[in-house]
A and B are shown apart, each in its own frame.
Chain A
């Protein structure tokens, strides 16, 4: 097994001879996307004209589907099939695995008469056109035996229990530490349900070629989707060819699969023609996953000088009655600040709400919204600068497990951010700065997010014309995977970027875990580096062993790769000359990365600091972000442009979490209120003002062979808290029930006599 120490050896990415690593290279697939020619799943051209399927969602939150009158729909123009659980083709029971090593079990659509949440697909109509399918869907008459949904999270907090297999983590003695502390803070925050709101809704196009099912779909993780579909269809795993080449956003919401996948494949099989199925925007809100609401209690006990003696963060959250997801909002806090007495944990309550699941920076995104505001409040109580308070409690080693940090530049992020932002101009007393009708305030927060490396493979080949081809069952959900793989390949094989082709999103390619948990670039990229190194070896061996090569007889270790040329000192030829002559069919190899055996001896995280300036209209309670600055330390950066874009995107999301994004539950119906993007408020340009992300120079050689870490979620962590702290600094009102909408802020302003 490898050790992290093996990763310290120089490699083409770390030596970066041609300087491609770190460059702000344009997106590999950018031209296709901006010209509208990147075929997303629903837009792929099938071999024959497709039929169109639409799903019908349950209009109750819990109960049973007792009847379905489909006669009128079946008789409507162009209709090819109308299914409910009464007549859907048989599928193996949920979770069943015919292949013991499948990474996912059967996921049957329209499984039975049970309705477990509002919007759950309960019927399906296929017709020759989308219009006919939609129109016929209105003619399906469903009858339900509805039960009263148990969906009121706030009313059920008392009933929440330990998530399965978990225990609170206590170090030292929190209760005594807290009671004895000179200064105490004990406050509770709440965060609402949020939706992913990907631009591209979930969608699938399927057709069959003999026994084989070809599916184009929009998902983040290829293998589990392929295996799960094969299990659902009761066919061999190799009989599902799953492709997901372009994905219009995932954010965790496409980590699993939904009924579009099975229904498209089943209908294509039943009808003998391609079938497309897409969620509507309305269906995306209730019938796919969401970030669950939380209630978070933070207790901080400190000495007068600001040293934390006791620290606790407890999170209450919810998931669907049949679900098993916990929003681990307290987890990140375990690695953030030093304190001898610590208590963290989670409580979960199962409700008849739609299915909770991971959403960008699961845990951190919600969790920082309490702790990082609590630190602001504590700083105020102590009369300390919030930056200083954080630096004071910076842990020398991981405060929970005592492991050394692989690399931790939190303090540098805090200090450089403060300087670049002009933090010294902040007045600690709220409400003193005015700009026209706006009260202006500044706030800050720390950012932290774990870093992960998972096992992955990658295929590399060289074609006779010298083109390097990367093949990987990886996804690019808009983050820049295509681009960073191209950069790694070009740098490793010493060819210009234009000589690299990247093919991903295909179940027949060497598997990678996909996009999620900000592990994508590190994991897929490390496998690519390994594969690239293997290809270098194969090419070097070919050159020195080929009598026709000027490199003949040399040592393979001495072969260099640069500008599309292979050389040993001044003996050289182009890669294409070599391959055309000596390996006219090209060469293909694979490479693989696995977590190092000793990786867990270090605590490996990514870090940052947010600085935000907001304006508050004291008359209306409106808040507008004027500028945001994030300074981050996240290992080596492969692409300065795509990394920055991930970070600023996360920061903007954080601001939205503080100010607008929420989907309230109507507890009478068990449904989420906002069902489109006019009602569910993601931020628009005018909300945000200036945004800048600065990335510190860093190489984390314990993380992986490239020394890179994730940036996809880090920007989310802490950004919302910095906005909330800035709101307080502007006007002196703390709203602890997010989002800080004008109605809530106005109440606070009025209470203050403003």
Chain B
């Protein structure tokens, strides 16, 4: 870790403004991802703006009949919320499939969305990594890349986004609310928040510098059942090899791309009357793998078909 200064923000707009004032400033919420990366010298902020105590932890009903989750709400609080468990069970299931209780007690909605990849080479500062050190190369490309992306990867980066929560948010069609350093607010679908790696894998989101996530807004839940299923090497406290979130006819996939992956082709096929297996096969027409991660293609096919069928079967 390198020396840094610290301030506690008193308002969301103030936090965004402060972030634009200091070069190398970063927000910190639960710190469960950022602090680890700082200790390993992967993240090197010069200034931390603590947004965890801002009054943006509420979970409240919206006028449209949906729910607004404050960006500083903890993962545990969101997962345990009665309204969420009743109307958005896929979100609860996704959150509790991630990390451990200790992590979820600290981790926040905003931080979870912006957590960085678990690519092992990103974590090892002795190795080339375009995401960590732009232009240095991608060690994973020809390396031990069992967990690499099968959608939307580029020769510059094949990492996946590891968040479980975001996959459910994408399936639910959630939006993020943002405030910029100049005080402007805007919203963005969670599905459009993250970018594909392209030639600049170090730029991971569509946020402008200093922009703060203030909330995530869930629309009313789609008709039909919901389910989150995650495949992992060990039963708990492990990043996924692949995951699927189903909310009615909406389907998102996790750990298969640089972002939570909305399975638009599968959704369209389903809407057109395709079987679950046919629908996911449509989606996987766009997949490509590298050898060590070949298994992800059949895995996603089987996992997704089973999950959609299970949801349908429940009526």
Contact = CB atoms under 8 A, between A and B. Distances in A.
Contacts of A687: 234-236
Nearest to A618: B302
A666 interface: yes
Contacts of B144: 664, 666, 673
**Residue of A59, A671, A673 ringed by the most chain B CB atoms within 10 A:** A673
A390 interface: no
Given A134-B1, A135-B3, A620-B231, A684 B124 contact: no
Contacts of B146: 743
Contact of B235 (A669, A671, A675, A684): A684
A138 B2 contact: yes
Interface string A652-675: 000000011000101011010111
A660 B237 CA distance: 13
B302 A619 contact: yes
B299 A684 contact: no
Nearest to B1: A134
A37 interface: no
Contacts of A138: 2, 41
A681 B233 contact: yes
A620 B236 contact: no
A551 B298 CA distance: 83
A685 B235 CA distance: 8
B143 interface: yes
A684 B234 contact: yes
Interface string B212-250: 000000000000000000011111111101000000000
Contacts of B123: 675-676, 679
A669 B137 CA distance: 14
B232 A622 contact: yes
B306 interface: yes
Contacts of B40: 282
B87 interface: no
B303 A675 contact: no
A660 B238 CA distance: 11
Contacts of B61: none
Residue with the highest number of chain A CB atoms closer than 10 Å, among B2, B124, B234: B234
B118 A678 contact: yes
B235 A742 contact: no
Contacts of A134: 1, 39
Contacts, number: 87
Contacts of A224: none
Contacts of B238: 678, 681
Interface string B137-159: 00100111010000000000000
A746 B2 contact: no
B126 interface: yes
A621 B238 CA distance: 16
Interface string B301-315: 011001000000000
A747 B302 CA distance: 12
A624 B235 contact: yes
Interface in A582-627: 619-622, 624
A705 to B, nearest CB: 43
A238 interface: no
Interface in B1-52: 1-3, 39-41
Contacts of A676: 123
B196 to A, nearest CB: 24
A319 B3 CA distance: 40
A742 B242 CA distance: 11
B271 interface: no
Interface of B: 1-3, 39-41, 118, 120, 123-124, 126-127, 139, 142-144, 146, 231-239, 241, 295, 298-299, 302-303, 306
Given A660-B234, A678-B238, A741-B233, 15 more contacts: A134-B1, A134-B39, A135-B1, A135-B3, A619-B303, A620-B299, A622-B231, A660-B233, A666-B144, A669-B126, A675-B124, A684-B235, A685-B236, A686-B234, A687-B234
Shortest 7 CB-CB contacts between residues of A and residues of B? A686-B235, A59-B126, A686-B236, A743-B295, A620-B231, A687-B235, A619-B302
20 contacts: A138-B41, A619-B306, A620-B231, A621-B231, A621-B299, A666-B139, A669-B127, A671-B124, A671-B126, A675-B124, A679-B118, A683-B234, A687-B234, A742-B231, A742-B232, A742-B241, A746-B295, A746-B298, A747-B295, A750-B298
